[in-house]
Amino acid sequence: MLFFDLGKLPGEQSMLVFHALARMGIEALVAVSPKSPLASIGYFQDAEQEVDLRYCHKAGIPFMRREVGGGATYLDENQIFYQLIWKKDNPGFPKAIDEIYPWFSEAPIETYRAFGIETEFRVINDIITKSGRKIAGEGGGNIGNCMVFVGGILLDFDYQAMSRILKVPDEKFRDKVYKTIEENLTTMKKELGMIPSREEVISVLKEKFEKRVGKLTPAALNSEILEKMKQIETWMTSEEFLLKKTPRIPEGVKIREGVEVLYGLHKARGGLMRTAEEIYEGRIEDIAISGDFTFFPKEQLIGLEESLEKTPLKEEKIIERVEAFYEEKGVESPGVESKDFAQTILNPVRESNIAK
């Protein structure tokens, strides 16, 4: 397996690397930091619902949807991202999503411990300190014929910038977001009173990953990889990809008797879930699902949406349909169960009331 220590790259490039390597079937561990700030949006999220895109444009902060799950976040040079790519059929790696996170989290956990910060894995995809404060968030998914696992070592963090890029109903609410993030997210600087050198952190991180994946051979980005990054950048920065899954529904709307459009919001153990569904005579006519949860294989989310069409608006029927689809397609969504989909759909809220 190759090891790319890429230092600091322009914002989007720091994320394009693992997307390119996965498409090319190159198994590798990447260590990289964004040279300039970037807003990163989870694959299943609705960008216009989660991130203040107007502010990002005004502030000159590029935003990018990644092809792995998780929530929207602010990235900058104070974070060292580890990106692990391997082929799906590699027998040396876990197969189930719920096994992948704890297995690979051991390397960053041991890295933090090497610097005197006692940490542990917390379901679904966080690394926390003994005091329960989050010090790393992780995400994973499938890209091409490969699996990808990504996370970050937090040297320091700009809490103000993070609270600013998020879409919130008003500034009073933003203050609450800032306070909550600052109280619940910690960094190496906060824990140690100083920031260790980047080189030392990466050296330890590489050593800990080698214990799990075997010898890592240093490598550099060649012309072929750079060309692939350039190719997929065009697609990944297009509005079609960035703004996909954006049901622009100002509120629940009754079209006529028996026909209405509803908007659902539910916080499952595995993340926030949103649905926008058209209801016809008590059945789901059409539905769009988004959120910051993990769903594997990611391509099957559209299939789940299609399978829910014509399903009666009854909890047991929705649960039955979701569970049948999961079993047929081998879907995994840690922390998100069939009952969570039912709860989201059956407890619609008007978007104008979400902020209350």
- Convert the pLDDT of each residue in 126-136 to its tens digit: 899 999 899 99
User: Using one digit for the tens of pLDDT, what is the confidence trace for 223-247?
Assistant: 999 999 999 998 888 888 888 754 4
State yes or no: pLDDT of 196 exceeds 90: yes
Where in the chain are the domains? 2-242, 253-354
Pick from 189-193, 261-265, 333-337: least confident: 261-265
Structural element, H or E, at residue 330 = none
Structural element, H or E, at residue 17 = helix 11-24
- Please, which pLDDT band fits residue 355 given cuts at 50, 70 and 90? very low
CA gap 324, 343 in Å, rounded:
17
CA gap 97, 69 in Å, rounded:
12
Q: What is the 3-state secondary structure (H, E, C) of 171-201?
A: HHHHHHHHHHHHHHECCHHHHHCCCCCHHHH
Strand order in the sheet with 259-268: 253-256, 259-268, 271-280, 283-291
Q: Which pLDDT score is estimated for 349? A: 52
CA gap 86, 27 in Å, rounded:
5
Q: Which CATH superfamily is domain 2-242 in?
A: Bira Bifunctional Protein; Domain 2 (3.30.930.10)
282: how many CB neighbours lie within 10 A of its CB?
Answer: 9
CA gap 120, 132 in Å, rounded:
9
Q: How many CA atoms lie within 13 A of 284 on its CB side?
A: 29
Tell which wins on pLDDT, 69 or 23: 23
Q: How many CA atoms lie within 13 A of 183 on its CB side?
A: 6
Give mean pLDDT, residues 240-257.
57
Strand order in the sheet with 79-87: 119-122, 126-129, 134-143, 146-154, 79-87, 28-34, 2-9, 217-218
Q: Which pLDDT score is estimated for 239? A: 87
Percent of the chain whose pLDDT exceeds 90: 67
Give mean pLDDT, residues 218-223.
97
State yes or no: pLDDT of 257 exceeds 70: no
Q: Which pLDDT score is estimated for 262? A: 81
State yes or no: pLDDT of 305 exceeds 50: yes
Structural element, H or E, at residue 228 = helix 223-236
DSSP helix/strand/coil, 215: coil
Structural element, H or E, at residue 136 = strand 134-143
- Please, which pLDDT band fits residue 336 given cuts at 50, 70 and 90? very high
Q: Which pLDDT score is estimated for 255? A: 39
Say if residue 232 is preceded by a cis peptide, omega within 30 of 0. Answer: no
- Please, which pLDDT band fits residue 265 given cuts at 50, 70 and 90? confident
Pick from 92-101, 137-146, 243-252: least confident: 243-252
Inter-residue contact 181 to 163 (CB < 8 Å): yes
Q: Which CATH superfamily is domain 253-354 in?
A: CO dehydrogenase flavoprotein, C-terminal domain (3.30.390.50)
